[in-house]
Amino acid sequence: MTTTPVRCPICQSPMQLHQASNGYYCDNKHRLDKTEQGFYPCFINNKNKPKPMTRAQMRAKQFLLASGLYQGLVDKLADVIRPMHQQTVDKKQSLNWLDYQCGEGFYIRQLSKALGINSGDESQIDAVNCYGFSDAENALFAASKQQTTAQLFNGSVKGLPFNDESFDLITVLDSQLKGKECQRVLKADGRLLLVVPTPEHLLELRQLQQGDVELKPTKLNLPSGLELVVDHSVQLVQDVSAEQAQSLYEQTSFGWRASKQAQKVTQFSPMKLTFAWQVLELAKAR
C-alpha cells in the first residue's frame, strides 16, 4: 500500500493506493476507483457539476494548444520548475505536483517532456508524482485518451480531494485562482505558479474589434494568505493564421461580450499577434 496526497471525498480521511487495483481506499472502507474514462470521480452530489465545455469548444482549444503558439509559455514554466525538480532528484525525494484545472492535460504533457519526467532516465524515476484536477469530466477523458502521465481527478473546486499541505508545487495555468483550496493543499514551503495574461496579451485582436485600446496596468489581486516571491514575464510576437486568429478571438472575454453582429463583421486574416503573460511564483505568507 502506498501513502498518497489523496483524501476521501466522503469522510475526508487520508487515502492509500492499492497498487494491484490502482484504486484508493481509506480507513473507513470507502473506495475510489478509476472510471473507464481514465479518471477518479470525486463529486458527491452530481447536481453540483458545472456545465461541461461543448465538443466544439474542446476541439477549438485543442487546435490552439497543438499549434505551438504556447511553446514560449511552456519554456518559461519549465525554466521556473526545473530547479525545484532537480532539487528533489539530488535529494532522492519526490516532488508532489498538482496541475489545478488541468483541462485536457496539455501543460502536464508538455512540461513533463521539457523536464524529462518519465523519460526512462533512472535518475528521474519517482522524482515527480503528478496529479491533474478538473471539474470537467470531458476534459479529463480527453487527457486520458492522450495518455497524460498523471493521476486525474474530477471533483468540485470547493473541496479538492487532497490532504492539507500535500503538494510541493501547484500550477494554475489556464484558470482563475479562487477560494482557499489551493492554499490548503500547498505545503508550507511549497510554490504555486499562477499564469496571468497582461494587458498586451492579444492586443491586436482587441484593436481589430475596438479600435484604439487603452492599456491599463495589471492589478494583482492575490488571495489573502499568499505572497509574491518572483514575477516572471513572457512576451513574444508570433505569426498566426486567419483560423488561429478567429479561434483565439472566440475564446477571449471581449470576443464573448461582442454582439453577434460585431462577431459577423470582424474579419480575420493572417497577422502578427502579441502573446504576453506574467508567471507569478507564489508562496504561503509567513
Q: Which residues belong to the annotated binding site for Zn(2+)?
A: 8, 11, 26, 30
Residue 59 makes CB contacts below 8 A (sequence gap 6+) with none
CA distances from 15 to 3, 106, 157 (A): 7, 27, 19
Give the residue ranges of the annotated binding site for S-adenosyl-L-methionine.
70, 104-105, 201
Could you tell me the three cell numbers for 210?
A: 475596438
Could you tell me the three cell numbers for 73?
A: 509559455
Bridge pairing between strands 226-240 and 271-284:
antiparallel
Q: Do residues 30 and 11 lie in contact, with contact meaning Cβ atoms separated by under 8 Å? A: yes
CA distance 286 to 208: 45
Collapsing DSSP to helix, strand or coil, 29 comes out as coil
Per DSSP, the residues of 60-110 read HHHHHHTTTTTHHHHHHHHHHHHHHHHHHHHTT--EEEEEET-TTSHHHHH
Q: Do residues 251 and 64 lie in contact, with contact meaning Cβ atoms separated by under 8 Å? A: yes
Instruction: For the chain, give percent helix, strand, coil, nearest 5.
Output: 30, 30, 40
Considering only CA atoms, which of 98, 286, 278, 134 is closest in space to residue 200? 278
Per DSSP, the residues of 161-216 read SB-TT-EEEEEE-SS---SSHHHHHEEEEEEEEEEEE-TTTTHHHHHHHHSS-PPP
Give the residue ranges of the annotated binding site.
8, 11, 26, 30, 70, 104-105, 201
Read off the amino acid at residue 114. Answer: A
